[in-house]
Each structure stands twice: as C-alpha cells, then as structure tokens.
Amino acid sequence: MEPLTIAFEMSDELMARALREGHLAAGREHFRPRNLLIVAASAAIFVRAVLLHSHWLWWTAAFPPAAFALLLLYWAVAWLRLPALAKRRLARLPHRHVRIAIGPQTFLLETAAERLETPLSELHSLQRLPSVWVIRLRGGARIPVPLEALSVEALAALRAALPASTPAN
C-alpha cells in the first residue's frame, strides 16, 4: 500500500497563525468562566479582609488572584514573543518544505532540519484549529498542517490511528 503524502510550505505567516491559534485554544482551557469566578471571589475576600483589618490569615485569599495575574502576564508575553521566535528559527532553514507520509504502520515527517519516523501508535491527538490541524505525538511534538493540505483520506487515516479514548476534533 502506498503511503498517503501531505506536502506544504511552512511559511512565517502559517507558523505564527498556528502558534496564536494554539495559544488561544490553551487560553480558553485555562481561563474558563468557572475559574474566573473563583479568582474573583478570592479577590473580593482579600479586599474585604484588607478593608476590615482582618486577621492576616485571610490575606491568603490573595494567592489565587496573584497566580492568575502571573499566568495572564505569562500568556500575554508568550502571545507576543512566540511567533517572533518561531520566525527566527524558521529563517535559519535552507528550505521550508514539509512532507508528511502516513503509511499503514508508520508516520513520517520530513523538513529541512529533521526526519522523524515513528509508528502510527505514537499519535496522541488531532486538534482542529480555525486554519490548521495540529497533529500531536506522544513525545510532545506538535505538527501544524494547513486545513487545505490535509486530504480527506489522510484525515481518515490519522483518525483511525488515534487511540480509542482520544477524541479527534
């Protein structure tokens, strides 16, 4: 059986878009309304404790809002810096052609800098973002693929290779 092949050009714009969309998806996971309500309640308890000159132990209610503020700051810095760092990394490559081959038992990724061949069982998940599919491997690798580059057959092969417990978007 001939492996299904996906080929595309990893442009600066594609990489930046994939990073930002992935970052937004992660942000939606962390900044859920339920979590924001808990942080707001903790902040209200802290403000009330300070205004009433309460026992110092009530001041520990400031920890969730402080942690949330630090997480929000980290998220904002990453939002601004990650695309620039990725562009700088891509600029060093001799070419930006990406080739993915999906065989009956193997997954192959070839770029200018690396060649990764792994069994299909190493696929962890498949995530659909607004303009890219993100193929995640068990080792942590995240491979963005433009929506238009992934054929219906390749998508079906990737979904079939996912573990039964993993939902594919």
**pLDDT value of residue 36:** 85
Instruction: Read off the pLDDT of residues 114-147 as tens digits, 9 standing for 90 and up.
Output: 889 999 889 998 999 999 999 999 988 888 999 9
One domain for residues 21 and 8: no
Residue at a domain's end among 91, 121, 137 = 91
CB 46 within 8 A of CB 116: no
What global pTM score does this model have? 0.74
Is residue 103's pLDDT more than 70? yes
One domain for residues 108 and 118: yes
pLDDT average, residue stretch 81-89: 86
One domain for residues 83 and 99: no
In a domain, 167, yes or no: no
Instruction: Read off the pLDDT of residues 10-48 as tens digits, 9 standing for 90 and up.
Output: 888 888 899 899 888 888 887 888 888 888 898 898 888
Tokens, residue 165: 């417990």
Is residue 92's pLDDT more than 70? yes
In a domain, 143, yes or no: yes
Dist. CA 40–CA 56, nearest whole Å: 19
Could you tell me what percentage of the chain is helix, strand and coil, using 3-state DSSP and rounding each to the nearest 5?
A: 55, 25, 25
Dist. CA 99–CA 42, nearest whole Å: 50
One domain for residues 52 and 75: yes
Element (H, E) at 158: helix 152-161
Q: Average pLDDT over the chain, rounded to whole? A: 86
Residue 53 falls in which region: left (phi positive, over 0), alpha (psi -120 to 50) or beta: left
Tell me the CATH number at 147: 2.30.29
Dist. CA 152–CA 132, nearest whole Å: 14
For residue 69, the enclosing domain spans 16-91
One domain for residues 107 and 156: yes
Domain count, the chain: 2
One domain for residues 107 and 157: yes
